[in-house]
Structure 1
Amino acid sequence: MFFSIVIPTYNRRPILEKCLTALEQQPLPENTAVDGYEVVVVDDGSTDGTVAWLQQTEAFPHVRLVEQDHQGPAAARNLGIATAKGDTIIFIDSDLVVTPDFLRAHSETLQQEAKHLGSDRLFTYGRVINTCNFEEPTAEPFKVTDFSAAYFATGNVAIARHWLEKAGAFDTRFQLYGWEDLELGVRLKQLGLKLVKCPEAVGYHWHPPFALDQIPSLIDKEIQRGRMGVLFYQKHPTWDVRMMIQMTWLHRVLWGLLSLGGRLNERSLAPLLQWLINQGKPQLALEVARVFLNWYNVQGVYAAYREMGRSPLT
């Protein structure tokens, strides 16, 4: 087994350095079935000096740099798969900092479960812990809000390369924010792949502490996610997908009630959010902001659906 860790990146140089440093610190036991690993960094048209920095540094001997014009993470991951040398692909994001047992945990779980099933028709899904602690990202404890029920998400997943090729890899039409990995997950599920949780393979997903000046960008992401959600539903018009993308009457009622029909928004909640931030609770402030962020997402889904010339779903 040879791992290719595929990492798309776009203007994330400071946290990317921590990400790559952690991946260089992966001791593999002598009795492991892992022959080695490489780290394939796919730069998606960064403008922050990422490429020049990687070309000049000698700190990351496992890293191979691949470049493309800015096309989004789906195209970047496909390019990473195409250029990877490994028979097993691990996807992580460039703002993820892993622990020293990361590769060992994925490899042991893959082997044990394949032996149990008598097949490699599976993938392992590691734990992702969100943190805004840049200096010591791995100091963050696991929280209830870190739980994920996703079937296939590229924040921390390992899978045999041939299953990605058989499924058709990522759909590059997903150029805006969201859903390209879960859409691939639907196709993998159709192939009968089993999700195997691997909580020992821990990655700490860093993001800057929430601040009010981030709200316009977060709203734009929710609207983009809504548009990509409709593309997801076009490809897989099922109830499960409608639930995932929040395109149901239940979500319209839920977020409509919680946001008081949009009256609890970025303007009306700004004083409360700033107070929570001043109290040293930026994560709680972000959770409160999700009331109107989810409302924007639901509105974005239905707006995109109407643009396709169809009547809104109820």
Structure 2
Amino acid sequence: MFLTVVIPTYNRLSILQKCLKALEKQQYHHPITNYEVVLVDDGSTDGTLIWLEENRLGFPHVRVFCQSHQGPAAARNLGVEQAQGEIIIFIDSDLVVTETFLQCHGDALAEGYKTSEKVFTYGRVINTCNFENPTSEPYKITDFSAAYFATGNVAIARHWLIEAGLFDHQFQQYGWEDLELGVRLKKLGLKLIKCPDAVGYHWHPAFSLEQLPKLIDREIQRGRMGVLFYQKHPCFEVKMMIQMTILHQILWGLLSLGGRLNEKTMAGFLQGLIDQGKPQLALEIARIFLNWYNVKAVYAAYNQLK
């Protein structure tokens, strides 16, 4: 079993260094014969390519490809097209994995193939803001994911991706390109195998108020891309996923008091939590109005289509 780890990256040099170093430390045996890392730089401007060139001898498994800034969907497609392995493992460039990461995916796939070829594995993603030692973070209830196909930590045979049609390049803004591909994979009959031992630690800086404009913009983008998702698959399941239902309007409208609880009116309270050393709690509370921005963006984008 030859594995190709496909990683799109855009201006994440500091954590990318840890990501690649962890992948060079992989311990593996049967059924894995070898692996490579296909890194696709999506037009970074932070010196990523310079650093990769200067340190290429330290990363013998890494092959680098470049494209202009087109988004993660196009970057992942380029990675799949250039892959030499029959198994593709998708991770993000801010994910730091354990030394047995590849072996756990390989073992789970081999076990699944005993009964069906139509399987793929989904590993565990643990969120952390510990940059110095990200793998020390314990699993939390907020790390749970019920996603069917998410590219933060997933392994799948390359030919299924080709048959499904790869990622849709229309998803150039934030969100949904992986879950939309997941809908097509599900139609092919593929089954998800949870692989919690294949652990990746998703690093992000501790929440601060300065991040809110970017987070709000991301929710607006996610709303727009959600409508594109629904255009491609106009069903109730997708409407629930993208929060385009009266239930979501009522829920987030009530919790945010119709938008009156927002980044301005809650700034003092959120900063107080941050000052108490509770940035994660502050972020979870901020998600109330962030979800309201998302719901409004979904309906705004949908109404533009009418």
Over the matched positions of the two proteins, sequence identity in percent amounts to 70
User: Secondary structure at 1:133's aligned position in 2?
Assistant: coil
User: Secondary structure at 1:205's aligned position in 2?
Assistant: strand
User: What residue is the counterpart of 2:53 in the other structure?
Assistant: 55
2:248 corresponds to 1:251 = yes
Where does 1:196-275 land on structure 2 (aligned, <5 Å)? Answer: 196-275=193-272
User: What residue is the counterpart of 2:68 in the other structure?
Assistant: 69
Shift of 1:100: 0.7
Shift of 1:27: 1.0
User: What residue is the counterpart of 1:85 in the other structure?
Assistant: 84
2:47 corresponds to 1:15 = no
Distance 1:229 1:40 in 2: 28
TM-score (norm 1): 0.97
Shift of 1:33: 1.6
Distance 1:279 1:64 in 2: 44
Q: Deviations over 1:227-249 (max 9, x none)?
A: 00000000000000000000000
User: What residue is the counterpart of 1:27 in the other structure?
Assistant: 27
Correspondence for 2:41 among 43, 57, 67 = 43
User: What residue is the counterpart of 1:303 in the other structure?
Assistant: 300
5+ residue gaps, structure 1, are: 310-314
Q: Deviations over 1:258-304 (max 9, x none)?
A: 00111110011101110011011111100000000000000000000
Q: Deviations over 1:45-103 (max 9, x none)?
A: 00001011101102111000000000000000000000010000000000000001101
5+ residue gaps, structure 2, are: none
2:127 corresponds to 1:125 = no
2:275 corresponds to 1:278 = yes
Correspondence for 2:183 among 167, 182, 186 = 186
Q: Deviations over 1:168-215 (max 9, x none)?
A: 000000000000000000000000000000000000000001000100
User: What residue is the counterpart of 1:97 in the other structure?
Assistant: 96
Distance 1:213 1:84 in 2: 38
Q: Give the number of equivalent residue pairs.
A: 305
Shift of 1:223: 0.2
What value does the CA root-mean-square deviation take over the aligned residues?
A: 0.5
Distance 2:73 2:25 in 1: 27
Q: Greater shift after overlay, 54-63 or 6-15?
A: 54-63
Distance 2:83 2:110 in 1: 21
User: What residue is the counterpart of 2:105 in the other structure?
Assistant: 106
Distance 1:281 1:80 in 2: 38
Distance 2:305 2:49 in 1: 39
Shift of 1:306: 0.8
User: What residue is the counterpart of 1:312 in the other structure?
Assistant: none
Distance 2:124 2:24 in 1: 19
User: Secondary structure at 1:27's aligned position in 2?
Assistant: coil
Distance 2:6 2:141 in 1: 28
Distance 1:265 1:252 in 2: 16
Distance 1:28 1:152 in 2: 25
Distance 2:117 2:12 in 1: 34
Runs of 4+ in 1 over 3 A off after TM superposition: none
Distance 2:297 2:277 in 1: 31
User: Secondary structure at 2:207's aligned position in 1?
Assistant: coil
TM-score (norm 2): 0.99
Paired AA for residue 159 in structure 1:
I
